[in-house]
Amino acid sequence: MSVLIVGSTALDSIKTPHAENPRLLGGSASHAAVAASFFSPVKLVGVVGKDFPKKYVTLYKRHKIDLEGLQIEEGKTFHWSGEYEVNMNHRRTLLTELGVFENFTPHLPESYKKSPFVLLANIAPALQHHVLDQMQKPKFVVADTMDLWLNIAKDELVKLIRRVDCFVLNDGEAHQLTESDNVFAALKKIHKLGPRYVIIKKGSHGSILSGPGGFFICPAYPLPNVCDPTGAGDSFAGGLMGYLATARGSIDGNIRRGMIYGAVTASFCCEGFGLKKTTTIKRVDIEKRVKELEKATRF
């Protein structure tokens, strides 16, 4: 089955202590879509400007991503620039040029509206709502977010959380949302907002699922070298959704393994700037790391 993914499609200029990479393909939807494409057909919803490099359209197409929902508008593509510190756990935004993203309203093509799996990747909650409003009884909806929306659109975000099957956020955001510093206490609080599944991402410490089957402690894939963690959380959500869309059986039965696939897809994302590493791998490379994670967690 196919996955519909809505989110940002951007150009990222990323600086680390070791290198500088201007105008890479980025944005939550780009990372999630490429990650999901290893498992299932993907329908992308996003917006870019007329300046959007053709090579990135080619990249999407190479991953068989359906671009009917990619709006190309007069103006400039959303451009984000950020800088990482040595330990990669802290980054600061240097520049945000919204461009065509400022007036983006996601219109779903007819062929998208019956997609069974919907990933509302990080984007304004109002736009996430707008996409959901256009969908016809999706089977499974996941939403991600970022701290910005907790700061400026918390009410809309909380309403969105009620409407989704699975809500994904990182530990800092969970703390901000619940005022609880403890991940397990935060999970309980977010559950009360509505979703059947809640996942808190903890970067290199993995992620925790709370669902009907109890907690699942999902490891991160061991990486001795992290090149650029931008998009890792989006890759995680994309890999998870791509896996779920094609796995046989129930979501309850598959979601844990889906998170493992998400963690592995995210690990490749961290090994190159932007999507550079992710776009060089094949499904077999993912399967190899999944087996390694099985071995690294067995006791």
- Which range, of 14-22, 47-55, 192-200, 206-214, touches a second copy by CB under 8 A? 206-214
Using the rule CB under 8 A, is 204 a contact of a second copy? yes
**Any bridge partners for residue 46, and if so which?**
70
- Which range, of 9-17, 50-58, 144-152, 287-295, touches a second copy by CB under 8 A? 287-295
**Cβ nearer to a second copy, comparing 34 with 270:** 270
**Cβ nearer to a second copy, comparing 136 with 225:** 225
What binding mask, one character per residue, do residues 161-190 give for a second copy by CB under 8 A, x or -? --------------------xxxxx--x--
Using the rule CB under 8 A, is 297 a contact of a second copy? yes
**Cβ nearer to a second copy, comparing 214 with 249:** 214
Given phi > 0 = left and psi -120 to 50 = alpha, else beta, which region is 194? left
CA–CA separation, 220 and 204 (whole Å): 6
Using the rule CB under 8 A, is 215 a contact of a second copy? yes
Closest of 267, 272, 264 to residue 228, by C-alpha: 272
Using the rule CB under 8 A, is 202 a contact of a second copy? yes
CA–CA separation, 65 and 208 (whole Å): 29
The dihedral sign for the CA sequence 25, 235, 163, 153: negative
Among 22, 53, 109, 222, binds a second copy (CB under 8 A): 222
Among 224, 249, 250, 284, binds a second copy (CB under 8 A): 224
- Could you tell me what percentage of the chain is helix, strand and coil, using 3-state DSSP and rounding each to the nearest 5? 40, 25, 35
Using the rule CB under 8 A, is 259 a contact of a second copy? yes
Using the rule CB under 8 A, is 249 a contact of a second copy? no
Using the rule CB under 8 A, is 219 a contact of a second copy? yes
- The footprint of a second copy on residues 6-45 (CB under 8 A) is none
Using the rule CB under 8 A, is 87 a contact of a second copy? yes
**Cβ nearer to a second copy, comparing 14 with 226:** 226
CA atoms within 13 A on the CB side of 128: 30
User: Least distance (Å) from a second copy to the CB of residue 142?
Assistant: 18
**Cβ atoms of residues 67 and 60 within 8 Å:** yes
CA–CA separation, 196 and 252 (whole Å): 10
User: Least distance (Å) from a second copy to the CB of residue 227?
Assistant: 12
**Cβ nearer to a second copy, comparing 138 with 272:** 272
**Cβ nearer to a second copy, comparing 118 with 208:** 208
CA–CA separation, 197 and 209 (whole Å): 7
Q: To which residue do tokens 């802290």 refer?
A: 90
Closest of 109, 89, 105 to residue 17, by C-alpha: 89
What is the side-by-side order of every strand in the sheet holding 197-201? 65-73, 42-49, 3-6, 117-120, 140-143, 166-170, 197-201, 207-211, 214-218
User: 122 is written with which tokens?
Assistant: 């990080």
**Cβ nearer to a second copy, comparing 68 with 287:** 287
CA–CA separation, 75 and 48 (whole Å): 8
Chain residues in the site for a second copy (CB under 8 A): 86-89, 181-185, 188, 202, 204-206, 208, 214-219, 222-226, 256-257, 259-260, 292-293, 295-299
